[in-house]
Structure 1
Amino acid sequence: MKPIVQAILIVCLVILASCNQTTKEKKSMQNNRNLTAKEILNKPDYLAISYGGYRKKTRDSQPTLKELKADLKILHAMDVRVLRTYNVRLPHAANILKAIKELKAEDESFEMYVMLGAWIDCKNAWTELPLNHNEESTNNAAEIERAVELANLFPDIVKIIAVGNETMVKWASAYFVQPHIILKWVKHLQQIKKEGKLDKNVWVTSSDNFASWGGGESEYHTPELEELIKSVDYLSIHTYPMHDTHYNPIFWGILPREAKLSNTEKLDKVMNRALSYAVSQYDSVASYVKSLGVKKPIHIGETGWASASSGFYGPNGSKASDEYKQSLYYHKMREWATENKIKCFYFEAFDEPWKDAHNPKGSENFFGLFTVDGKAKYALWDAVDKGTFEGLKRGKTKITKTYDGKLINLLLDVQMPPVKNEIMPDH
């Protein structure tokens, strides 16, 4: 073989080997960006969050694709990799999936998955007709059908379908259903997985209050609930200590022996008890599931803390809501969940003013880690300092700190919880 021919052959072989290696690397990257629900839920570093992109006082004003993509970039920057949505009747969830697909096409390092919620109602919910909690809304079938359609359209993004949101807990008096209705749709989804009409790796659950999963009163301990626990791929439970600072303040308040501590030390003690209270609710569900002889993963589908309130949790109530306490709860909950390998869908990413549109200062409007105009609340001030959100905006606004980053001004809005002789419920 002539030297020149030999040299050309060697160069070609090197190029071919390089191309093969590049192809393998791309395939490996694609596989790493298409994990299963089981893999995602078992990755502590993949933060999960509840997300609604609504910026106005009504959901009639849907966020644009551009707005959704801006939000997703912000969340991705803070290591959020799993989003939770709540219904598919409105365009919002489908548009989130489209936005994620476009971002993945634009940047192969972008990775985001979705827990897709299918909203479930009882018969005559949200109407003036008498409610029937034993029967379901005629809208439910279409909601489930649409969720399946979206899961099949975006198989690399939709990894979990949640049947209903706080749908079985009895205090959801406007729409709750009995467990047999949730069970019906969970079994339906599990069946169509077997038939190949839905990816077998899509996990099916229902996301509900801890009591609805058997962690509360015995009235929830029914054969239908037991069968539901056996039918879901995992349990998604909600726990809200903040709400119970009003409804069941057994853990809330400053102990007399803590009187000489500094205010920040007192608050740290109080919020440690808030975390312990949430953990006790998680443990109560785990205990009930164990009593049934069932082994299923249990993750937190919702927990959060409002940064403001004019009602039960404000200055004239339990004094629970402000950015400082929100930050303590957020970081303590994230740390506990990570240590215990529990996925926590923190509620929520951004404030959504439609939640309590008739009461602008209502707590439901202030569960976000960001304000509507994109300011990072105290829980994320460190992230701002680290440059996590450098170059990112919400609308025309760069991500900056609330209170202009002045902690002393933030602390002026912090209300100290009441001092209690005993941490016991009010009578």
Structure 2
Amino acid sequence: MSIQGMIRPIVAALVLTVSYSCKEKTTKVEDNKPQIEKEVIAKDILGNPDYLAISYGGYKADTRDVQPTIAELKEDMKILSAMGIKILRTYNVQLQQASNLLKAIQELKKENSNFEMYVMLGAWIDCKNAWTGETPDHNVESEQNEGEIARAVALANQYPDIVKIIAVGNESMVKWAESYYVQPSVILKWVNHLQELKEKGELRKDLWITSSDDYSSWGGGDDSYHTEDLEKLIKAVDYISMHTYPYHNSHYNPEFWGVPEAEEQLSDIQKIDSAMVRAKAFAVSQYDAVSNYMKSLGVDKPIHIGETGWATVSNGHYGPEGSKATDEYKEAMYYHQIRDWTNANGISCFYFEAFNEKWKDAANASGSENHFGLFTIEGQAKYALWDMVDKGTFEGLTRNGNPITKTYDGDKEALMQDVLVPPTKKEQAVAH
């Protein structure tokens, strides 16, 4: 039988058994056996629990002037792939991190035909005068935005088998991003531009376009965000990528976090566990608020979580002198609850984040922004992943040359010494 004659029945069988609209293509033949490479598109992988998502930076130094090398990126990809992660979210294409990451994934795919990793490529969007020391002008966009979008387009076309989504901006519309936020009209302009490139055939038609922003920016919060441009944006994107952070709200909107009077007689661990159930419910409520606003506009399209997470160290608002939300036990509870909920409901969750990064609050080593990772910079797995270490998930893998081990040397009793009980409602009232 000819090679083509061998391939046809194999492809036909695969088409019958694949439950998603994956395309199939034949690659090289080894030992007279055709290899079938699966080609997926965004709608196949978003909301699919077989394609877990995560937010990824990979920076190890206290400045982004030190970019992760391709070798370091490949090391991280192997760790994340072992966890079942198959979609990464990046944040900008101004620096080398994203382009190097795409090179690293391409190399891993060449080295191992079974390696599978896709990217939601972020294009950073700013207002005029952002990060310059001058007063930001939130009604005028930065002249840098055009180049950023062009770079994202170029990378999407260079790596069509890896880049499946472009996200225009990160928390670029939410008004508490005072250093750089823009009006929805700016995001709409660039989303429409990318959608037009798809129509012209200058980008793949199956590449999905979105913007990744706070739940309030998508209409789930204050009515001041409910503008005509936001309505147009919701109709223009292929899906909504929303952020929700019960962790931050344990300080800024703490009503859900405090221990109710009816639970004051519970044990400490019961109080903590109950608070974490409320935290997950808080995230679900913000998701539902965005969904309800979208549907009120007569729109029905997917909503996925572009960011949510829980830090494990804080000497500020969320630590011992603050909301007492911060530790590895609570991170583990939140991580597993949010994964269970999103997987069960066909929602992708780009959990924030894979590894600690210390550049985010370089002047304060114990600042919470440095400690959202599921792994430490050195490669220790935090409590959320201890079970994976026990199962040998990371056997033979390293980060910075270190094998993947457990934080606290695997001593849960020592870990629990750092776990604080959330304040009661009465204590919250006194503090505020």
Is the TM value for this pair above 0.5? Answer: yes
The partner residue of 2:121 within 87, 99, 116 is 116
Q: What is the 5 A alignment of 1:12-411?
A: 27=25, 33-411=38-416
| Distance of aligned partners of 1:412 and 1:180 in 2 relative to their CA distance in 1, 3 Å threshold | same
| Paired residue secondary structure (1:82) | strand
Residues 140-186 of structure 1: CA deviation (Å, up to 9, x unaligned):
00000000000000000000000000000000000000000000000
Q: Percent identity?
A: 61
- The total of aligned residue pairs comes to 415
C-alpha contact 1:255 1:423 (8 A) present in aligned 2: no
Separation in structure 2 between the aligned mates of residue 271 and residue 308 of structure 1, nearest angstrom: 17
| Paired residue secondary structure (1:276) | helix
Q: Give 1:255 deviation, angstroms.
A: 2.1
The partner residue of 2:423 within 418, 421, 424 is 418
| Distance of aligned partners of 1:423 and 1:43 in 2 relative to their CA distance in 1, 3 Å threshold | farther
Give, as a single letter, the amino acid of the residue that structure 2 aligns with 1:354.
W
Q: Give 1:424 deviation, angstroms.
A: 8.3
Give, as a single letter, the amino acid of the residue that structure 1 aligns with 2:206.
N
Q: Any stretches of 5+ residues in structure 1 without a counterpart? A: 1-12
Q: Give 1:395 deviation, angstroms.
A: 1.5
Give, as a single letter, the amino acid of the residue that structure 2 aligns with 1:238.
H
Give, as a single letter, the amino acid of the residue that structure 2 aligns with 1:411.
M
C-alpha contact 1:251 1:423 (8 A) present in aligned 2: no
| Distance of aligned partners of 1:424 and 1:317 in 2 relative to their CA distance in 1, 3 Å threshold | closer
| Distance of aligned partners of 1:273 and 1:422 in 2 relative to their CA distance in 1, 3 Å threshold | farther
Separation in structure 1 between the aligned mates of residue 108 and residue 63 of structure 2, nearest angstrom: 27
| Distance of aligned partners of 1:15 and 1:250 in 2 relative to their CA distance in 1, 3 Å threshold | closer
Give, as a single letter, the amino acid of the residue that structure 2 aligns with 1:40.
I
Match of residue 31 from structure 2? none
| Distance of aligned partners of 1:277 and 1:230 in 2 relative to their CA distance in 1, 3 Å threshold | same
**TM-score when scaled to structure 1?**
0.93
Q: Give 1:43 deviation, angstroms.
A: 1.2
| Paired residue secondary structure (2:110) | helix
Give, as a single letter, the amino acid of the residue that structure 2 aligns with 1:83.
L
Residues 187-244 of structure 1: CA deviation (Å, up to 9, x unaligned):
0000010000000000000000000000011110000000000000000000000001
| Paired residue secondary structure (1:346) | coil
**TM-score when scaled to structure 2?**
0.92
Give, as a single letter, the amino acid of the residue that structure 1 aligns with 2:70.
L
Q: Give 1:95 deviation, angstroms.
A: 0.4
